[in-house]
């Protein structure tokens, strides 16, 4: 039974991989939600209009904003010119485990994420990858 802890560099690499996986799932979630939005409201006329809806509208897409904000938090650490501590990296993994947790009866994010996983097998597969990357290395 080994209690050796992964190195900071290996954990930063895993965090970078998690960031990319979260970006992929975020893009898939946006596209999935766009399709449903367009079924109800008609086509979104341009990428600019779509971007404005995602960023500014407090309705349909707002549940996805915490994911966008979390990616920025990861970037602040992995792109920092200052030394990064293992505690900072651990905290980001802990936040990811809370944030990327689908639930039928949770927060708006958790419920939206849950519904997307139920309706889209690709998103379910992406969630499995995110979950694998979020798992503690000794788990």
pLDDT at residue 66 in the model: 95
By C-alpha distance, which of 113, 104, 34 is closest to 66? 113
How many domains does the structure of the chain reveal? 1
Residue 139 lies in a domain: no
Considering the domain boundaries, does residue 64 fall inside one? yes
Judged against a pLDDT cut of 60, whether residue 49 lies above it is answered with yes
| Full residue range of the structural domain in which residue 103 is found | 8-134
Query: Would 81 be classed as within a structural domain?
Result: yes
70 CB-near residues (< 8 Å, 6+ apart): 22, 95, 96, 99
Domain contains 24 = yes
Quick one: how far is CA 80 from the chain centroid?
20
> So what's the pLDDT on residue 3?
54
C-beta of residue 77 within 8 angstroms of C-beta of residue 15: yes
Alpha carbons 116 and 108: distance in angstroms, whole number: 12
Distance from C-alpha of 72 to C-alpha of 119, rounded to nearest angstrom? 27
**What is the pTM for the complete model shown?**
0.89
Is there a domain that residue 1 lies in?
A: no
Give pLDDT tens digits for 83-138: 999 999 999 999 999 999 999 999 999 999 999 999 999 999 999 999 999 997 76
Phi, psi of 103 (to 5 degrees): -155, 135
């Amino acid at each position: 039974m080994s209690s050796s802890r992964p190195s900071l560099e290996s954990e930063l690499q895993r965090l970078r991989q998690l960031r990319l996986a979260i970006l992929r799932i975020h893009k898939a979630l946006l596209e999935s939600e766009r399709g449903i939005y367009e079924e109800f409201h008609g086509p979104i006329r341009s990428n600019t209009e779509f971007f404005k809806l995602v960023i500014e509208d407090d309705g349909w897409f707002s549940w996805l904003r915490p994911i966008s904000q979390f990616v920025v938090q990861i970037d602040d650490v992995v792109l920092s010119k200052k030394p990064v501590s293992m505690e900072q990296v651990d905290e980001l993994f802990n936040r990811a485990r809370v944030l990327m947790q689908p639930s039928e009866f949770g927060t708006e994010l958790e419920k939206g994420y849950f519904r997307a996983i139920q309706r889209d097998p690709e998103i379910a597969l992406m969630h499995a990858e995110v979950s694998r990357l979020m798992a503690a290395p000794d788990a």
